[in-house]
Amino acid sequence: MLEATRRFIAQIPLLSKLIETAFSETPYSGNNPDELRDHLSEVRRQIVAQLKEQGSLYRVECMPHETFQCPHCGAEGKSGYWEVCNSVTARRASFATRLMHTFMVHGDLSVNETVSNLSDIQMGEREIKLDVVALMQVFANADLPGEVQDELKAYAQERAAAAR
């Protein structure tokens, strides 16, 4: 399901990697921590301006210290959630990283997550579903491949028909 969309999402660049690459390619001659911070801020500003000029989407991985294990393949992943961002419209949507892994690797639109209390006692499970409508809103006015546009349009029509 949503094969073209899965391939497209996998190609959305990670903002931290873009900044890291640009930072390593940008000469910096200072040795003061404040100058270094200012230089990094300027590199970030330039990258975001380029993304906006190109009308590009980008993603941010948040809470990278968190880990999860895929219930399907056992792969371990890092980060709590992804934020998919549209540089032109400033729309963004957040998705649990485990859900994005399950969608992109296995094609599932939902995943179960263990719910624990503060004492780390398991209290049950909850289902997390991919909000395709929110994803479509982020994609609005972005340069999407035709097959992704067609696929998302067909998905929206199927959902509307099923809701009737």
What's the pLDDT score for residue 13?
95
Arithmetic mean of pLDDT, 75-83: 86
Mean local confidence (pLDDT), 93-122: 89
Q: Which residues contact 62 (CB under 8 A, 6 or more apart)?
A: 79, 80, 81, 82, 83, 94
Of all helices (H) and strands (E), which one includes residue 115? strand 110-116
Close Cβ partners of 65 (under 8 Å, ≥ 6 residues apart)? 78
Instruction: Determine the pLDDT at residue 139.
Output: 94
Instruction: Please tell me the predicted confidence (pLDDT) of residue 36.
Output: 87
Which residues pair with residue 120 across a beta bridge?
none
Of all residues in the chain, what percent carry a pLDDT higher than 90?
51
Element (H, E) at 80: none
pLDDT value at residue 32: 85
Q: Would you say residue 159 has pLDDT above 90?
A: no
Separation of alpha carbons 111 and 125, rounded Å = 10
- Give the per-residue pLDDT at 43: 93
Structure tokens that stand for 89 in this block: 């419209």
State residue 72's pLDDT score.
87
Total-model pTM: 0.81
pLDDT-wise least confident of 20-24, 44-48, 68-72 = 68-72
Write down the mean pLDDT value for the chain: 89
50 pLDDT higher than 90: yes
